[in-house]
Amino acid sequence: MLKQNLIAFLTIVRKEWIRIVRIWIQTLIPPVITMALYFLIFGELVGKQIGKIGEFTYIEFIVPGLIMMSVITNAYGNVVSSFFSAKWQKNVEELLVSPTSPYTIVLGYTFGGVVRGLSVGFLVTLTSLFFTKLRIHSLFLIAITVLLTSIVFSLGGFLNSLFAKKFDDVAMVPTFVLTPLTYLGGVFYSIHNLPTIWQFISKANPILYMVNAFRYGFLGTSDVNIYVSLSILVFLSISLFIFNVRLMKKGYGIKN
């Protein structure tokens, strides 16, 4: 049984990877071009007017946040589009009638999203080197933060795809929830520059903790406690995984 589920897991991940590279001009290139424009406009043009944030130039400060933004949006988008398409085309039923367990299905699609998120993040990181030199404070923290973040948002994309009943539902969460939270997650600014009340409100945004943990890995500076950030990431990963598996066992959004 374990061997069957391992084969099923690797097959789903392989399928997702083939899907990503087959349409690479849609999955990998657009986010790199978008982030390059962010580096140019905000980092170079606007950044020169802003000056420094602490001891870092503005582009040094925003690069980790922009890399994390690309990881978040692509990990989430890959899973929600892929699994919802499988629902829409009815081929997810092939998985449901097979011996593949619900947790294997969730893990397979999740790590498919992780692969795309990390791939785009790597390409964006390489692109950033054309605009600034990257500092590395803690490679381990960079790796664990980007991995956990991509897992969290892949699971979030899976959850969205389970609840979605039409294609408009797939686009609604990224547009009205994910994008605002990302832009207000400290990517372009330090929350210490905000009034006290807005600092307090910002700390209710989980993306703030992800961005700052990732930034700490590069620059060694953060607006929030790093251990709190990692704890939130672990908690969200476990909670979303358990919730998704329970919904899969019930067949929510699939059988009804």
Tell whether pTM > 0.85: yes
Identify residue 9 by its one-letter amino acid code. F
Question: What is d(CA 146, CA 174) in angstroms, rounded to the nearest whole number?
Answer: 19
For residues 47 and 58, the answer to whether their CB atoms sit within 8 Å is yes
Nearest by Cα to 215 from 136, 122, 147, 151: 136
CA dihedral 124, 215, 42, 130 (to 10 degrees): -40
In sequence order, what are the residues at sequence separation of 6 or more whose Cβ sits closer than 8 angstroms to the Cβ of residue 190?
53, 54, 61, 223
Q: What is the pLDDT of residue 254?
A: 80
Mean pLDDT in runs of 10 for the chain (256 residues)? 84 93 92 92 80 85 94 95 88 81 94 96 95 92 97 96 87 87 89 88 93 95 94 97 94 76
Query: What three-state secondary structure class fits 221?
Result: coil
Nearest by Cα to 219 from 41, 63, 70: 63
Q: What is the pLDDT of residues 3-31, one digit of tens each?
A: 888 888 999 999 999 999 999 999 999 99
Q: What is the pLDDT of residue 256?
A: 58
* Tokens read off for 240: 């979303």
Q: What is the pLDDT of residue 43?
A: 77
Q: What is the pLDDT of residues 45-70, one digit of tens each?
A: 887 788 788 788 899 999 999 999 99
Phi and psi based region of residue 131 (left: phi greater than 0; alpha: psi -120 to 50; beta: remaining): alpha
Question: What is d(CA 9, CA 93) in angstroms, rounded to the nearest whole number?
Answer: 16
For residues 153 and 110, the answer to whether their CB atoms sit within 8 Å is no
| Mean pLDDT of the residues in the chain | 91
